[in-house]
Amino acid sequence: MAEFFSFLGDANRLRILSFLATKELCVSDLATLLDMSESAVSHQLRNLRAIRLVSYRKQGRNVFYRLHDSHIYQLYQAVAEHLDEAEERGVESEE
């Protein structure tokens, strides 16, 4: 679990997951959206595939990436909702 959550600590990986939470994308589309090189995006995707956060399908010469399964999407959504709630009520101080 620690390895899983450590991978989510990288801003670029989170940005990739954020885009893939909405739809399948190829490396070149992700590179454009992220303003990164295709090589850098491919490297991050390889890491995300290794821990089964993303999967891919080939269509001709193109490779399309998506979140691995509904569990990953649900985890992403739950964290996003939690952060939105915290932002709406302001960060509460511990007493």
| Residue range 13-23, pLDDT digits in tens | 999 999 999 99
Residue 29: CATH number of its domain:
1.10.10.10
Is there a domain that residue 26 lies in? yes
Name the pLDDT band for 76 (thresholds 50, 70, 90). confident
Question: pTM for the complete prediction?
Answer: 0.80
Q: Is the pLDDT of residue 91 over 70?
A: no
58 contact partners, CB below 8 Å, separation of at least 6: 64
How many angstroms separate the CA atoms of 77 and 71, rounded? 10
Asked if the structure places residue 49 within a domain, the reply is yes
Residue 45 domain-assigned? yes
| 4: Cα within 13 Å, side-chain hemisphere | 7
Task: Tell me whether residue 94 is in a domain.
Answer: no
Containing domain of residue 84, as a range?
2-89
Number of domains composing the chain: 1
